[in-house]
Structure 1
Amino acid sequence: MPLVYGLVGMLVLILALTWGALQLQVALAGFLNGESIWSKAQKQSVIALESYAISGDPADLANYRENYAVLMADRSARDQILSGSYDYEEVAGALRRSNTVTIAIPGVVFMLHHFSGAPYMRDALDAWRSTDTSIQDLNTIADALAAGYANGVPGQAEITRQRARIHAINSYIEPRSTLFSRKIADGAVWMGQVLFWGVFGAGLIAALLWLDMARRILASVRGSEERYRLLFDSAADAIVMIDESSGRILDVNRTTSSWTGRSAGELVGDRFVHLFVQSMAGQQAGRAASNLLLGEQGSTRPVELQTSLANWGSQPVRQAIIRDISERLKMEQERRIAAEALAGIAEGVIIADAERRVLSTNEAHVGLTGFSSQALISHHLDEHRRLPDGKPLPQSIWDSVAAGRNWSGEVLSTRNDGSSYPEHLSISAIRDGEGQPQYYVAVCTDIHEAKASQQRLEHMARHDPLTGLVNRAEFERHCSEAIAVAERERLAVVVLFIDLDAFKIVNDSYSHAIGDRLLVKVAERIRRQLSDGDVAGRIGGDEFTVLIPRLILREDARAIVNRLLVSLSEPLLIDDYEIVLSASIGVAGYPLDGANAAALITNADAAMYAAKAEERNACRFYTPMMHADTRRRLQLATELRQALARNEFHLVFQPSVELRSGRIVAVEALLRWQHPERGEILPGEFIPVAEGLGLIRRIDEWVMQTTCAQIQAWDLAGVPPIRVAVNISARWFGHPAFVDGVSRALQSRQLSASRLLLEITESAMLRLGDDIERTMQTLHALGIEVAIDDFGTGYSSMAYLKLPAVAYLKIDRSFVTGLPGDANDAAITEAMLVMSKSLGLVTIAEGIETEAQHDFLLRSGCVEGQGYLYSRPLQPDEVRYLLCPNQPPVPARLKLVPPKRS
């Protein structure tokens, strides 16, 4: 208790000193605040008075009066306090009028009254008093200026004089005001230091006195009871002393109070059995027993209890030691959970000792390998595992794990039945206190399915999903490897580029599903013709590539190319359809045609394009000129886009004569392109390019409009009305706006539908599919007739000849050329003429160049004919002259030669 009293007294002393220091600090803060207000008021009064002297604004005078009042209030409070006899309320009111902080007013009064002679304070007050007269002079100037402005505006000389006086007074006040501020600030710092050291010294003396008293009191504590209590309370276990006869508690240590949540006073006298949840019956002295110790608010703590008898003097007591076993039970539970988790984990787990001998395995490992846990005990962990190449697991794996790293990788594991499977093995170590491996833990996962899936994904990434052939990227990789080998061994590598002829027609005629199955069969045929080491690929659509490595010369590939051409031209049976195709093949070889895979494929593609353009179902070996042709086609495509805008197209007309009479009954409009630099370009060169660019519809529309305009011009010139045939592409013929476009062209020129004949090829009709019949019926309703061009060269059905608008049949020049000597051409031509007659169709033969051809066709029943025997294509004015010979002639390059008559 003396120590407590001494401590309380010391704290009270320190708090009292601190409170006094705070009050002094508040007073100093008030002084500083007052100094700031006084200095500001002095400066503002000078500024306001000068402004008033210049402007005469009453607001400036009011501002000056307000600041002057603050100065006077401060002066009044100062003088009253320093006089020693003052009214506190009057002084406090003056300080409030000067805006001094209210809480600091008592401290300011106290400081001025008691410490006016203190260091720094005396100098500050002297500086303050020295400005009194000057501030009074300012007020005198203000009164004079106010009187002057009240009588009018003072003269400029008066204003200048008063301003000079204001400046002189301000120059006198300003350094003294600064001195006053600096001395007040210095005094505040000095006072703060005095207060600090005063409080610190008082506190230090009080602390020393208290410590001395504590030392003397503690030195008197002696005896065995204190030492016993120290040991008793410092025990980590709870210790309870019980009266053996009554079973009541005699004493407890601090740990017992902490665990039960009850103080020692509450526990002493209570029965010992009340501390536990479970009964104490049957417990023997000296033997440990488990129980639950009751804690605060009904909580329990698992404990282990052990008792022994002892004597306190003549009193027999039982000493009970209670040990907390929460951590032990928690660890046992965690071990049990870990064992259950290990047993239930999906991956196989092996635990081995430091010598890598198996100690236990889980059920997943038994199911994975077929080895029971007992069968593997004492066997080495890696006894049934090898690297994927069959080699034993290297020592470096165990060295890595021993060094503190985990190892994981793929191994080949052997099952109990002798089979093997790929396994992902992860090995880690459990270390002892010195960091040495004590146990090894291996986790095993069967990755057979994962590897199979990965292989499938890799195969899909490298192969075409439809045909199973390699894709472009994989083909280029094989090609690059073959080139590297050929470079080392001075051999040749050949790349074939295969493109199916007319595959789009098959796709459009049947279905894409049939087209896909056709591509699969084509891929099978290509594979059958290859040797070991050759690689076939599909790089898009109906385009295939073949790599032939390790050849002596590029030309050695000709044999396999010929086999491929023969194989791919054989009929293919798909469902109920028999489809006949052919292929065009381009050949490029290393090192002659390219030094890398991309160059070989590009050049083989160029060679294939040349084969397709010149002669289908053929092959071509690459030459540098082929790229020149390709560049020419690209240039042609660019110029073709500009041809319509520049009006570079024109029409010529080839007459069609009646074979029996030789009379011109019709003309066929033929498109020509007059290129500004290359001259006339024939349709066979630019029409395929226009179809590829999608410009053919615009060109067809231009031909239709120009033809109708020319028919109208002939009518206005008095030319006898004749039929004019116009060739129509499949793209425009199948367009929804085709019929309306033709109808508008005729109506705009006020032409009869009978004046126009539309020519469409067999292959174009085939591509239109089911829409052809609807279009033909509409044309027939409008009175527009249609001629089937190039008959006998396409793949169409004879059913097209029965369509409503079909009125003419044109026999292709390929059959007329061999007449009359070629028996096959003669038989085919006669059959077509007979069939046409029976169907009521008018026949027109193309390409007649000899009298013998004319006579044969006339005898066979052909109605009309076209060809150089009668006339070459003519300009519109030349046609007008032929049909109107009495009109003024035009310069003609060609002359109509009528056929001889028998």
Structure 2
Amino acid sequence: MGMKGAKQATLKCLLVDDNPDDRVLATRALQLEFPELQTEFVTDMDEFMRRIEVGDLDLVITDYQLRWSDGLAVLRRVKAALPECPVIMFTGTGSEEIAVEAMQAGLDDYVLKTPRHYALLPTRVRSILARAEQRQLLQVAENALRESESRLRAIIDTEPECVKIIDADGRLQFMNSSGLMMLEADSTEQVLGKKLIDMLVPEYRRSFQDLARSVLAGNKGILEFEIIGFKGRRRWLETHAAPLVNQMDGTTSLLSITRDISERKLAENTRVQLTAIIDSAIDFIGIFGKDGKVSFVNRAGRNMLGIALIEDISATRIRDYLPPWAADMVTGKGIPTALRDGVWSGECALLNRNGEEIPVSAVIVAHRHPDGSLDFFSTIMRDVSERKHHEAQLLHLATHDSLTGLPNRALYTDRLEVAILEAQRHERLVAAMYLNLDRFKTINDTLGHEVGNTLLQAVAERLQENVRADDTIARPGGDEFALIFTDLAQLDDVNDCTQKILHSFKAPFRIDGHELFLTASIGIAVYPFDDPTSDGLLKNAAIALNRSKDMGGDAYRFYTAEMNAKALQHLILDNALHHALERGELQLHYQPQVNLVTGQVCGMEALLRWQHPELGMISPAEFIPLAEKTGLIVPIGEWVLRTACAQSKAWQTAGLPALPIAVNLSGRQFAQKNLVQTVTQVLAQTGLAPDLLELEITESTLIQDTQASIPMLHELNALGIAISIDDFGTGYSSLSYLKRFPINAIKIDQSFVRDIYTDPNDAAIVSAIIAMARSLGMKTIAEGVETNEQLTFLRSRQCDLMQGYYFSRPVTAGVITQMLGESWNLSFVVNP
């Protein structure tokens, strides 16, 4: 029901009274005052109930005493159906209990029936209607306020941020739904009246109190703090607070808008952690935009570049940190590749403030927005200086000799090919040379490898001092050096360069207190005359070197076609030699050794011969060096030893005189650790007595490794085997070594015997050797005796034995058998 008010055209009044007279009196009194009042009557309960169900009443006047009910029941039913409708009750009793009960039930006025109560009725009605109208207006205002508040709350509840009001005591007076979710509250009731400060992480409570005091004093403020929700979750919040003044009572509360910044804090924390990690990295890490401007460089990167940590780099570009060539690579290849593929990796360099390049291994990554547009580039660059240095060292080791620092064979060959290309372009000559040190092996074996290595280093330095800057000196290995002379106009230039090299060896080398004299053998091949290729030149230079060495050393030889033919012959012999033993092409010839006093044959020397089916008889001087180089001398030497011992035993078995057999041991054979075992086995297998075997060893072989030679010789000597030094006088010739070795005989080399009668020096040397051997208790054997004059001289110096063409050429075993069978005596020759 709506109240129409006192000014309305029609007021509807329900009069509940079963007394007709009272109804008339009441109606008359009201109409005099309220002509617009329309009065209705009900006289029983049914009629009453139907009317109040219809509603639309501005006033109900009821008598307390009714035949069909009482005024209290009417009052309650009216208030139940029409709570806003005012009710006035007439009663003839003055009971206070009834009045109190009626007022509690919602009665608006209580009028006692008196002679004048109808006269008072209009005044009471006017007052009641005025109050009802005020209540109606107030209700409208309240409804409007409630609706406005509802709309405001709905708006605030849609706000994603927390809106709250806290009173001066710090208690929550209001909070929207977003705030409830932040606090993990299930309802508003759970938070209202609570102190928000109690939910803060303790270390932020003082700051919150300071903020609250400041805001309540009329200021605004912002605070970030961490809070623990009702369900235990921690959140980071940022609150913006302002004072809220109540206009009615002047009290001030704290109004704040709070947002959840947990994700931002997590991102900030992650960023701090990442920054710490990035700053602890040893690599350059940087960020730059699509315009190339650098926005970030980590601590390591700044240190690498020499940039202070506090220096502003926002105006720099990535190119500024790179040398020009690296900048071109990054901008021309790196960035475009990163844009296309997402990432680029490669090697470039950074440029520090001192202008120094730092080699780096770089990665550039293009970072994009979700829509695919470019956001920024990041780059990581690792200092690879140490690796580059190590690689350079490895490359140097791979291309240079570790002892001298000179280029090795591989680098030498590369440089020779480059030199040939340059010579082709400019029509010049190139000389490829091999240089071999004469007698280096003797020095190395005598004075030790340490002295030998130092000598090689000194030779390398001297060679470098005597060549041009553009020429190349290399050490392929051992005591061999290789040289390249470039940009030569004529062959005379090659001669000049080579003679300068040989002349540099005239001065002695002083190594660890030793004054050492060296000479060199050099082989030369010239582009384009001798070959247009590097391989061909080197092959021909090697051939020329061998020829130079064959000529005695301290010389140089140019390659010739004749040399090549000889080298080819050596190759053919080398190949054939590999099959000579198995094909039975090797033979032994024997040369008698004659006692100069009795003229009796007192021994034989076994000499190896090679009867090739196509080339005929091949000189030992041709194939023995090949066998030494290839190592075939070891099985061949064992075959010689076995065959000679077996032949000597066969002569004894045939009843011929038991004569010692002399067998040469090569350097390679003597170096075999099982030599003593091999000799012992051969003697056992052939049945030859050890005292009938004599092993001939060259001087140079003995001194190669004296620590191994001395015990081995003593073992052989202990078996009863005689040891003789072959070619004595052509090697080191040291009395100190002769005293230490168990030597039985010394063989005087034929090079001294040849001119013994005409050359005073040779005569003196031979005389000294014989005298020295006699003083040491050794016998002497002269080789290569071919004339009576030689014989006479040797006999006069009391040489013990002789062998040579003057007595007999080396002959086959059959000839020796015939000789021994005839008891061949050469006394007529020895004692003419």
Per the normalisation by structure 2, the TM-score is 0.69
- Quick check: 1:251–1:264 contact (8 Å CA) kept in 2? no
Q: Give the 5 Å matches for 1:405-804.
A: 409-410=348-349, 412-415=351-354, 420-423=355-358, 455-554=392-491, 556-568=493-505, 571-803=508-740
1:322 aligns with 2:258: yes
Q: What is the SS of the residue equivalent to 2:405?
A: coil
| Contact 2:434–2:524, Cα closer than 8 Å, also in 1 | yes
Task: Give the superposition deviation at 1:871.
Answer: 1.5
Moved more, 439-448 or 600-609: 439-448
Q: Once the two structures are superposed, what CA deviation does each residue of 1:437-460 show, in whole Å capped at 9, x if it has no partner?
A: 999999998887676555545444
CA distance in 2, matches of 1:781, 1:396: 80
The aligned residue for residue 899 of structure 1 is 829
Give the AA of the match of 1:462. Answer: T
Residue 868 of structure 1: how far off its partner (Å): 1.3
Q: Write the mapping of 1:37-116 to structure 2, written as runs, cut at 5 A.
A: none
Does residue 288 (structure 1) correspond to residue 221 (structure 2)? The answer is yes
- Structure 1 residues 282 and 424, CA gap change in structure 2 (3 angstroms): farther
- Aligned equivalents of 2:153, 2:576: Cα separation in 1: 113
Q: Which amino acid is 2:176 matched to?
A: N
Instruction: Note closer, same or farther for the CA distance 1:831–1:480 as it changes in structure 2 (3 Å cut).
Output: same
The amino acid across from 1:304 in the alignment is E
* 2:798 corresponding residue in structure 1: 861
1:235 aligns with 2:159: yes
SS in structure 1 at match of 2:497: helix
Partners of 2:643 and 2:333 lie apart in 1 by 90
Name 1:830's counterpart in structure 2. Answer: 767
| Partner of residue 884, structure 1 | 821
Amino acid in structure 2 at the alignment position of 1:879? I
CA distance in 2, matches of 1:842, 1:395: 83
- The whole-number CA distance in structure 2 between the counterparts of 1:352 and 1:753 is 91
CA positional deviation for 1:721: 3.4
Give the Å deviation of 1:822: 0.8
- Note the C-alpha offset of 1:340: 6.2
For 1:521 and 1:884, how far apart are their aligned partners in 2?
62
- The Cα of 1:745 is off from its aligned counterpart by 3.8
C-alpha deviation, 1:371, in angstroms: 6.8
Residue by residue, what CA displacement relative to the aligned partner does 1:638-682 show, whole Å, maximum 9, x if unpaired?
332322222222221112222344332222111112222222222
CA distance, structure 1, for counterparts of residue 319 and residue 638 of structure 2:
84
SS in 2 for 1:767: coil
SS at match of 2:356: strand
Residues 757 and 763, structure 2, Cα contact 8 Å, conserved in 1: yes
Greater Cα offset, 565-574 or 353-362: 353-362
Separation (CA, whole Å) in 2 of partners of 1:873 and 1:353: 95
Distance 1:449 1:745 in 2: 61
| CA deviation map 1:508-527 (0-9, x unaligned) | 44444333222212212221
Partner residue of 1:261 out of 184, 206, 231: 184
After TM superposition, list the pairs within 5 Å mapping 1:349-364 onto structure 2: none
Change (3 A) 1:423 1:379: farther
Structure 2: distance between partners of 1:832 and 1:410: 73
Q: How does 1:139-150 map to 2 (within 5 A)?
A: none
Task: Report the Cα distance in structure 1 between the residues aligned to 2:652 and 2:334, rounded to whole angstroms.
Answer: 101
Q: Does 1:300 align with 2:237?
A: no
| Whole-angstrom CA distance in 2 between matches of 1:248 and 1:692 | 108
* Alignment match, 2:46: none
1:565, distance to aligned residue in structure 2 (A): 3.3
Aligned residues: 667
Counterpart residue type for residue 296 of structure 1: F
Aligned AA (1:523): A
Amino acid at match of 1:899: V
How far is the alpha carbon of 1:878 from its aligned partner? 2.0
Distance apart, 1:536 and its partner CA: 0.5
Q: CA 1:748–1:429 in 2, change beyond 3 Å: closer, same or farther?
A: closer
Code of the residue aligned with 2:257 in structure 1: it is I
Picking from 309, 313, 317, the partner of 2:244 is: 309
Confirm or deny: 8 A CA contact 1:534 1:546 kept in the other structure: yes
Match of 2:83 in 1: none
- Asked if structure 2 preserves the Cα contact closer than 8 Å seen for 1:719 and 1:884, the reply is yes
CA–CA distance in structure 1, aligned partners of residues 260 and 409 of structure 2: 74
- Does the alignment pair 1:821 with 2:792? no
- Provide Cα deviations, 1:669-712, integer angstroms capped at 9, x if missing partner: 11112222222222222222222333323222222222222223
Going from structure 1 to structure 2, the CA distance change for 1:720 and 1:795 (only over 3 Å counts) comes to same
Matches of 1:756 and 1:400, distance apart in 2: 81
Q: Cα distance, 1:636 vs. partner? A: 2.6
Q: Which amino acid aligns with 2:829?
A: P
Deviation of 1:620 (Å): 2.4
Are the equivalent residues in 1 in contact too, given 2:279–2:300 (CA < 8 A)? yes
Indicate the residue corresponding to 2:194 in structure 1.
271
| CA contact 1:252–1:267 (8 Å) conserved in 2 | no
Residues 108-257 of structure 1: matches in 2 within 5 Å? 227-240=151-164, 249=172, 251-257=174-180
Secondary structure of the structure 1 residue equivalent to 2:829 = coil
User: Contact 2:215–2:254 (CA<8 Å) still a contact in 1?
Assistant: no
Structure-1-length-normalised TM-score: 0.64
The corresponding residue for 2:127 is none
SS in 1 for 2:454: helix
> Is the CA contact 1:351–1:360 (under 8 Å) kept in the aligned structure 2?
yes
Whose strand fraction is larger, Structure 1's or Structure 2's?
Answer: 2
Q: Give the drift of 1:500.
A: 3.0
Instruction: Pick closer, same or farther for the CA change 1:503–1:273 going to 2, 3 Å.
Output: same
User: Given residue 233 of structure 1, which amino acid in structure 2 is its aligned partner?
Assistant: D
**CA–CA distance in structure 1, aligned partners of residues 221 and 312 of structure 2:** 40
Cα RMSD (Å): 4.4
1:528/1:318 Cα in 2 relative to 1: closer, same or farther (>3 Å)? closer
Deviation string 1:821-871 (CA, Å, 9 cap, x unpaired) is: 111111111111211222222111111112211111122222221111221
Q: 2: distance between equivalents of 1:735 and 1:381?
A: 72
**Distance in 2 separating the partners of 1:857 and 1:529:** 49
Distance 1:702 1:452 in 2: 55
Q: Is the 8 A contact 1:651 1:670 kept in 2?
A: yes
Q: Give the distance between the partners of 1:853 and 1:632, measured in 2 at CA.
A: 36
CA shift, 1:792, in A, is 0.4
Q: Distance in 1 between matches of 2:458 and 2:414?
A: 25
Alpha-carbon distance between aligned partners in 2 of 1:822 and 1:404, rounded to the nearest angstrom: 88
SS in 2 for 1:544: strand
More helix by share: 1
Where structure 1 has 5 or more consecutive residues not aligned to the other structure, the ranges are 1-221, 888-894
> How has the CA–CA distance of structure 1 residues 509 and 271 changed in structure 2, closer, same or farther, with 3 Å as cutoff?
same
Bigger CA radius of gyration: 2
Q: Using the alignment, how far apart are the partners of 1:506 and 1:864 within structure 2? A: 32
Contact 1:833 1:862 in 2 (8 A): yes
SS in 1 for 2:758: coil
- d(CA) in 2 for partners of 1:456, 1:886: 74
| Counterpart-to-counterpart distance in 2, 1:828 and 1:836 | 12
Return 363-372 or 644-653, whichever deviates more: 363-372
